[in-house]
Amino acid sequence: MDKSWMSEGDRLLSPVYAERVKNFLTMARTHSIGSDRIWCPCRLCCNNLFLPIFEVESHLFIKGIDPNYTQWIFHGEEETLPIIDDDDDSEVESGDVYIDDMDRMFDDIRAATCEDAPDDNTTSPTHSAIPQSSPNPTFDQLLEDASRPLFDGCTKFSKLSFVVKLLHIKTLGGWSIKSFDMLLNLLRSAFPNAELPQSYEEARTLERGLGFTSHKIHACPNDCIFFWKENANLNECPICKASRWMPNTHGSRVIPQKVLRHFPLKPRLQRLFVSSKIAGDMRWHKEQRVTDDTSMRHPADSESWKTFDQAHPRFARDAGNVRLSLASDGFNPFNNLAKPYSIWPVILVPYNLPSWLCMKDMFFMTSLTIPGPKSPGNDIDVYLQPLIDELLELWEHGVPTYDASTKEMFMLHVALLWTISDFPAYGNLSGWSTKGKMTCPSCNAQTDSN
């Protein structure tokens, strides 16, 4: 069956694409044996969701079919199995094969962290593209855990892949640390020979080994300053004279009154390029996007994006340079509106990705968590300092990054193009007055206010 339509760029207006989709759904409907639901093969669902046929049809037009789904085995096409020659000496042993593609992932990480990684004269080959932290598990330890079977004879899971899946399920299910430890105890009792961690904290060392860390920065309780850099050794705010520490009459360790949590941006952007699949998607906006001046399918089609590229051609020349959007708003973390508490996360969204990926939560990067109990208001600029410092450094100097899709090092630069917020938060982030004369940022002096 002809499958050339799968790569059709203009899906909404192409009569050929519409005809081929109709034929595909007819075959899938016949294969479903009376059911009105089929597996959705779009780029986002990837045959993981069982949806009504009319919804699958809309997905195929809006998002397109998964280009890697070349054998339609879930929709009526017979699977073509490779012919294996029993006399072939190159056949691998079944015990060396694990799921989750861990080997490929570690090959990419090894190339990104290796001192001899390919260099394009933009950075020194003696520096690792992804900084490693000495207290955390080394790459060799992670590689050993990825190649060690969960138990003798297990060919589906390694120690690393199984623990990563457990941590993923804990996050999706909202498990407590206590329930996670209880599950580990049960699994160790049922499978005494399995290579399982002793506790949640031991399992978390795997994440720390991959660099998922945060920094705690003490703040003035009245949002005046940070106790960092030149103020790192102060015990009270030099502006309002408020104490840095909570009152403590028990003589135990001191506790800061307010703590900002900062998640470094540079290593997280570097890790987007460690995966060859995601690295290719990060260049999609320039190398694969269908350009059409009459339609807007992606933020790259907007006037602001095009104007920015014209003003900064050196930045626009490299498709790997990242355009970010910043989103922030307050919410009550206690699920109790009667308790006045507002915490403000600051989220960064990379817009290099295709339109069907850039707004998915898996690519949302939490940069800051601004503590409560009150909204920071116009003092939010105090809390944005660590992020602004990072963005300035990434704009002016960049960071050496290994691109797994091109197998080359390049200097990654970043620009913040937009902010996403409601109108009051917009006033805090931009400093623009959101009430009174000239309230509208578009109308400016022409605002009709009474």
Question: What's the pLDDT tens digit per position in 396-411?
Answer: 999 999 888 888 889 9
Return d(Cα 104, Cα 119) in angstroms, integer.
Answer: 21
Q: What is the pLDDT of residue 392?
A: 95
Which of 24-28, 91-95, 157-161, 343-347 is predicted with the least confidence, judged by mean pLDDT? Answer: 91-95
Q: What is the pLDDT of residue 108?
A: 60
Confidence of residue 28 (pLDDT cuts 50, 70, 90): confident
- Asked if the model's pLDDT at residue 97 lies above 50, the reply is no
Q: What is the pLDDT of residue 79?
A: 57
Closest alpha carbon to 348 in 329, 367, 370, 322? 367
The encoded tokens of residue 395 equal 């704009």
Which of 101-105, 144-148, 266-270, 430-434 is predicted with the least confidence, judged by mean pLDDT? Answer: 101-105
Residue 256: DSSP 8-state: B
Return d(Cα 255, Cα 258) in angstroms, integer.
Answer: 9
Return d(Cα 359, Cα 344) in angstroms, integer.
Answer: 19
CB 323, CB 315: distance < 8 Å:
no
Instruction: Say what the pTM is.
Output: 0.64
Q: What is the pLDDT of residue 85?
A: 47
Q: What is the residue extent of each domain of the chain?
A: 4-62, 97-209, 215-247+254-291+299-419
> Mean pLDDT for the chain?
80
Return d(Cα 51, Cα 43) in angstroms, integer.
Answer: 14
Q: What is the pLDDT of residue 441?
A: 79
Please compute the mean of the pLDDT values over residues 271-293 and round it to a whole number.
85
Please compute the mean of the pLDDT values over residues 182-204 and round it to a whole number.
88
